[in-house]
Structure 1
Amino acid sequence: MTKTQKAEIIEVLSNEFKSAQTVIFCDYKGLTVSALEGLRNSARAKEAKVQVVKNTLATIALSNAELTGVELVDTNILVWGADSVAASKVVSDFAKDNEKFVIKSAYVDRVPADAAMVEAFAKLPGREELLAMLAATWMAPITCFTIGLDALRQKKEEA
């Protein structure tokens, strides 16, 4: 790999990491290519990105994006996205299905975090689920009011 190729990779990753809320580092040693393609497909569905990057290039890109505090060692695959919960769910679900895939550390909401924090974020409801809960909460008074009106109508019809 030439210096210009390395510089391009660093520039692209720096821009990606600046816009990402979450960057997760995982060990993928021993996984098959088809398994990694499955990870990429599930990440793509949740608007997250996945890439294997050399540790030195990733470290430089992270420092350019003002993300410090996590040391990269051994083999790493990076998963990042604008939605912290979605990226965490992708990684957590994939780790449950593949024993060789291990969550190491992360930046969650641009703060250094461990694997337990990633798992905690994965258990949170997603954006769509939260919007559904909010809509149900807003609809509750209207629903109760219409049920009460219907009960009053039935009572008056009986009398």
Structure 2
Amino acid sequence: MTREEKVALVSSLTDGFKEADGVIVSEFKGLTVSKLEELRASAKDLDVKVQVIKNTLANIALKNAGKDGIELKDTSIFIWGDQLNSSKVAAKFAEKNDKFIIKAAHIDGEVCSTDKVIALSKLPGREELIAMLLQVWNAPVQNFTIGLNALKEKKEQSA
């Protein structure tokens, strides 16, 4: 990789990390290419980026984005995007693959542990929250119509 390519990569990574609410660093040693493709496909569905990046370039990009503090060792795969979706992608994939280990994360402007990533992954997403809200709004109307229908049937039987 030439110096110009490295500069361009660091620049694009810096922009991506600045826009991202969550950056998760994981170890993937021992995973097959097909497993990594599964990870990329599941991340693409949630608009989350996944990329293997050389540690020196990643350190520069993270520092430029104001997300420094993550200690990078060995081979790392980076997952970044919305904090909730990136946490869901990483945690779900870590459950299925024991060789995929979440090492560190930068969420909400601070370096956090894997416990926070796993806790975030268990929270409901936007669509799930909207569905819950609609259920709550719909319940009184539904119960009212059931009650009216029962009253109507009772009146018909007595008449």
Gaps of 5+ in 2: none
User: Could you tell me how far apart the structure 2 residues matched to 1:69 and 1:157 are?
Assistant: 73
Aligned to 2:19: 19
2:130 is equivalent to residue 131 of structure 1: yes
Query: Per-residue deviation at 1:136?
Result: 0.3
Partner of 1:157: 156
User: What is the CA-CA distance between 1:140 and the residue it aligns to?
Assistant: 1.2
**Deviations, residues 20-60 of structure 1 (Å, cap 9, x unaligned):** 11110000111111111111111111211100111111111
Of 136-145 and 102-111, the range deviating more from structure 2: 102-111
Counterpart CA distance in 2 for 1:97 and 1:53 is 23
Equivalenced residue count is: 158
Amino acid at match of 1:143: Q
> 4+ runs of 1 displaced by more than 6 Å?
none
Query: Structure 1 CA distance, aligned partners of 2:108 and 2:144?
Result: 41
Check if 1:107 corresponds to 2:106.
Answer: yes
After superposition, the CA RMSD in angstroms is 1.2
Q: 2:117 is matched with which residue? A: 118
Look up the SS of the partner of 1:25 in the other structure: strand
Query: In the alignment, which residue of structure 1 is the partner of 2:51?
Result: 51
Q: Which amino acid aligns with 1:125?
A: P
Within 2, Cα distance between the matches of 1:111 and 1:151? 56
Q: Which runs of 5+ in 1 are unaligned?
A: none
Q: CA deviation at 1:111?
A: 2.5
Secondary structure of the structure 2 residue equivalent to 1:137: helix
Residue 21 of structure 2 aligns with an amino acid whose one-letter code is Q
TM-score of the pair, normalised by structure 2: 0.93
